[in-house]
Amino acid sequence: MSELKSELKNDLYLRALLRQPTERTPIWMMRQAGRYLPEYREVRKQAGDFMALCKNAELACEVTLQPLRRFPLDAAILFSDILTIPDAMGLGLYFEAGEGPKFERPVRDIASIEKLGVPDPEQELRYVMDAVRTIRRELNGQVPLIGFSGSPWTLATYMVEGGSTKNFSEVKKLMFSEPKAMHLLLDKLAQSVTSYLNAQIAAGAQAVMIFDTWGGVLSPRDYREFSLNYMQKIVNGLTRHADGRQVPVTLFTKNGGAWLGDMAATGCDALGVDWTTDLGTARAAVNDKVALQGNMDPSVLYAPPARIEAEVATILESYGHGHGHVFNLGHGIHPEVNPDHAAAFIEAVHKLSPAFHK
């Protein structure tokens, strides 16, 4: 078997995730392709709507590359959405202006959950794999490409609620009154996510990240039973070596600061951390077993560049000296952010981080 590595001009992000030495802290931004960029809004208009953009490999590639043309970022992230899987399961995803994602056919009982199939990523989700292949070709080894998925629990919240929610009433009703139905749904989602991420890796994704945006609304015990348990199954089933390199896996539970130790024990390579936990505290909690990604409050980007730079310094100091840190925001960049402030953020990381790697 050939062990020839494809050429990668900048592998700082992959090395940091594997806690290998780097000369500075790599940086990318969650939701780095998005509405804060005028060139993104232009292409989305051209595509018609958000899902049409996701389903067009050339346009998805174009918006993936837009932030890299503006900023010296160390990774590209596939332009897509976590809700592609439930859409492929037949729930009918649509976006209503200003209201976020919605499903035509939410699933709220065992009968509808039993009917759900596990999508074949090269069939129903082929448009995502085509986007991965197109982006890898166009990146031409500039930086690594991150593939991603939602966690089973986070996907289930949207599937049961039928969209975004404040109280999680429907999904928690199902979880507490019909735990068997909930587990069946989560099990099907864990199988779907595993094959979806493995297909992204086969198509060219060089690292993968699992977004558990809503794990933090669970009690510690329910988090383990209904969220972490299924992320563990996914970690166990992922391809960890491809294209002559390790494929690092990052888990991110928003508001999951109390569970970082348990998350690290899954065997993942890295954890995303939001801004409600100091990176130094997080580093102690995982005992340097995994790398950490984060964790500036995205709202800091509303402030002037000098304030942004001061915050970058605080976060670098909190992580401290040594490798294994990927700089990021603690959640996605807000649509109202001035792109020049994002530039100042990235520049501050380039300027201040080398001192922490000597």
| Residue number, 83 or 315, with CB nearest to ligand CP3 | 83
Is 44 considered catalytic here?
Answer: yes
Burial 319-328 (b: 16+ CB within 10 A, else e): beeebbbbbb
* Angle subtended at Cα 212 by Cα 62 and Cα 271, rounded to the nearest 5 degrees: 85
Quote the strand ranges of the chain, DSSP E: 76-77, 93-96, 100-103, 145-150, 207-212, 241-242, 245-246, 249-253, 270-272, 291-296, 325-329
| Residue number, 22 or 154, with CB nearest to ligand CP3 | 154
Among residues 19, 24, 40, 81, the one annotated as catalytic is 81
- Report the C-alpha gap between 324 and 293 in whole angstroms: 8
Least CB distance to ligand CP3 at residue 21 (A): 27
Is 31 considered catalytic here?
Answer: yes
Among residues 35, 108, 133, 245, the one annotated as catalytic is 35
Going by their DSSP bridges, the two strands 100-103 and 93-96 should be labelled as antiparallel
Q: Which 8-state DSSP code applies to residue 228? A: I
Is 221 considered catalytic here?
Answer: no
Least CB distance to ligand CP3 at residue 331 (A): 6
- Report the C-alpha gap between 184 and 81 in whole angstroms: 23
Among residues 19, 24, 31, 136, the one annotated as catalytic is 31
Is 136 considered catalytic here?
Answer: no
Among residues 13, 36, 40, 158, the one annotated as catalytic is 158
Least CB distance to ligand CP3 at residue 334 (A): 9
Q: Which residues bind ligand CP3 (CB under 6 A)?
A: 30-35, 44, 50, 77, 79, 81-83, 100-101, 148, 164, 211, 213, 332
Q: Which helix (H) or strand (E) holds 111?
A: helix 110-115
- Report the C-alpha gap between 260 and 212 in whole angstroms: 13
| Residue number, 148 or 226, with CB nearest to ligand CP3 | 148
Is 137 considered catalytic here?
Answer: no
| Residue number, 103 or 148, with CB nearest to ligand CP3 | 148
Least CB distance to ligand CP3 at residue 45 (A): 10
Catalytic residues: 31, 35, 44, 81, 158
